[in-house]
Amino acid sequence: MIIDGMADRPLEELGFKTPLEAAATPNMDKLAETGICGIMDPIKPGIRAGSDTSHISILGYDPYKVYTGRGPFEAAGVGVNVLEGDIAFRCNFSTANDDGVITDRRAGRIRERTEELTEAVNSIDIEDVQIIFKESTGHRAVLVLRGDGLSDQVSAADPKYDGKKWTRVEPLDETQEARKTADILNQVVERSYQILKDHPLNQERIENGENPGNIILPRGAGAVPHVQAFSDKYGLKAACIAETGLIKGIGKITGMDIIDIEGATGGVDTNLDNITQGILDTAAKDYDFLLINIDGADEAGHDGNAQEKLEFIEKADQVVGKLMDLEDLYFILTADHSTPISVMDHTGDPVPLIINGPDIRVDDVKIYNERAASKGGLCRIRGSDVMNILMDLMNKSTKFGA
Ligand code: ZN
Ligand code: ZN
């Protein structure tokens, strides 16, 4: 169970405690008291991990080999059945004028009925390449190119700022594949504008004084990597309960079953009751392993809101409390990185980790936070150690040597 971005640095406004130290977390403390604690560098000491690369590492894959960019994981997370070799992009629905100037990168923060625009975009076909487009939340979407002779070495069409023309996609190396992919992407962008500018939904939006979603702007190219299925790697049937497309995508690309939770927003306003129930229902089924990600603490960290982060951690503690009665399992509680209030982004500080379960060598740590956990029996480990430790505890490891 990964409380996204939960770890932090000491804050003056909290009397030089971290939000986790300042929060009342009786259930996490109990889990620590009856388990073994340590701190973990998700990738290696000092490396600022993204949520994606951290999760990849904790699941025992090498993020430096597997991670080819955010596109493939986002695409998988919104339900595109990505295949090895596909080139995937993150996209925005944006607003353009006839000169190609982007007047609103987020198309008036369009929220509703983007699936109608998606349907129109999916009618685009270019040469021998299959265009797969899918809306995500809000103004976000994903684009997947499938076919021979494609490359992820292409630049972004998104100009990053309003008031600029969309950027023509350029190949980033000399290969024929990169040239072909850039050419196709430029055609996709141009044709998306032709198809979407007079789309009925956009006409309605213009009448209502809202910016139309009349162009799609791809960025963040990544080739879908080859990833050994989690079930093959460990012999464990696994499910993923996550809120964001990114983490669901990691579950999907590693072959896990994805459990969707109603009301899971990925923010501090998420429906933790539904998430708890979803975990309990899934745990009762025939799975050997659950990857759980709860996202709100990270959002509060990015917003620099200490009080909100502290309160969300206290709510997450209630979730932990309701899961503690589950029997005959190993419960690992950790974070995927620190998202300190003072930095408002991820840092390379290690995160606290507990393992609780049968035959654990319980240590002297009695509370759960960054500093207390550093005195625990696991000492300081890396994300890539977690699955090895778990497999060993479950007696599912094979011996190295005689
Ligand atoms: Zn994260
Ligand atoms: Zn984050």
Smallest-distance ligand from the CA of 351? 1
How many Å lie between the centroid of ligand 1 and the Cα of residue 384? 16
Which pair of structure tokens corresponds to residue 50? 């993204």
Smallest-distance ligand from the CA of 250? 1
Q: So what's the pLDDT on residue 319?
A: 98
How many Å lie between the centroid of ligand 2 and the Cα of residue 97? 33
Helices of type H across 129-220: 176-196, 200-207
Q: So what's the pLDDT on residue 111?
A: 86
Q: So what's the pLDDT on residue 127?
A: 85
Smallest-distance ligand from the CA of 2? 1
- Contacts of residue 88, Cβ cutoff 8 Å, sequence gap at least 6: 69, 71, 72, 74, 75, 80, 82, 142, 143, 144, 145, 221, 222, 223, 224
Cα 60 versus chain centre, distance? 16
How many Å lie between the centroid of ligand 2 and the Cα of residue 51? 6
Local mean pLDDT, 10-residue blocks, the chain (402 residues) = 98 98 98 98 98 97 93 93 94 96 94 94 93 92 96 95 96 97 97 97 96 96 94 98 94 95 92 97 94 96 97 98 93 98 98 97 98 98 98 96 94
Q: Return the closest-CA partner of residue 213 out of 289, 141, 288.
A: 141
Q: What residue ranges do the domains of the chain occupy?
A: 2-67+226-393, 75-223
How many Å lie between the centroid of ligand 1 and the Cα of residue 48? 11
pTM to 2 decimal places: 0.90
Smallest-distance ligand from the CA of 303? 2
How many Å lie between the centroid of ligand 2 and the Cα of residue 223? 23
List, in sequence order, every residue forming a beta bridge with 46; answer none if it has no partner: none
Phi, psi of 380 (to 5 degrees): -120, 120
Residues with CB under 5 A from ligand 1 (ion): 4-5, 51, 298, 336
CA-to-CA dists, residue 272 to 42, 135, 293, 316, 333, angstroms: 25, 25, 11, 8, 16
CB 351 within 8 A of CB 334: yes
Smallest-distance ligand from the CA of 42? 1
How many Å lie between the centroid of ligand 2 and the Cα of residue 300? 9
Q: What dihedral angle (degrees, nearest 10) is formed by the CA atoms of 33, 39, 43, 47?
A: 140
Smallest-distance ligand from the CA of 345? 2
Q: So what's the pLDDT on residue 325?
A: 87
How many Å lie between the centroid of ligand 2 and the Cα of residue 117? 29
Q: Using CA atoms, how far apart are residues 240 and 238, in angstroms rounded to an integer?
A: 7
How many Å lie between the centroid of ligand 1 and the Cα of residue 50? 6
DSSP letter (8 states) at residue 90? E
Write down the CATH number for the domain with range 2-67+226-393. Answer: 3.40.720.10
How many Å lie between the centroid of ligand 1 and the Cα of residue 364? 28
How many Å lie between the centroid of ligand 2 and the Cα of residue 266? 11
Smallest-distance ligand from the CA of 4? 1
Q: So what's the pLDDT on residue 138?
A: 86
Q: So what's the pLDDT on residue 24?
A: 98
How many Å lie between the centroid of ligand 1 and the Cα of residue 242? 11
How many Å lie between the centroid of ligand 2 and the Cα of residue 30? 27
Q: What dihedral angle (degrees, nearest 10) is formed by the CA atoms of 309, 310, 312, 315?
A: 170
How many Å lie between the centroid of ligand 2 and the Cα of residue 42? 14
> What is the per-residue burial (b if ≥16 Cβ within 10 Å, else e) of 117-153?
bbebbeebeeeebebbbbbbeebbbbbbbbbeebbbb
Burial tier of 112 (Cβ tally within 10 Å: 0-12, 13-18, 19+): exposed
How many Å lie between the centroid of ligand 2 and the Cα of residue 279? 23
Q: So what's the pLDDT on residue 205?
A: 96
Smallest-distance ligand from the CA of 301? 2
Smallest-distance ligand from the CA of 56? 1
Smallest-distance ligand from the CA of 52? 1
Q: Return the closest-CA partner of residue 4 out of 276, 267, 296.
A: 296
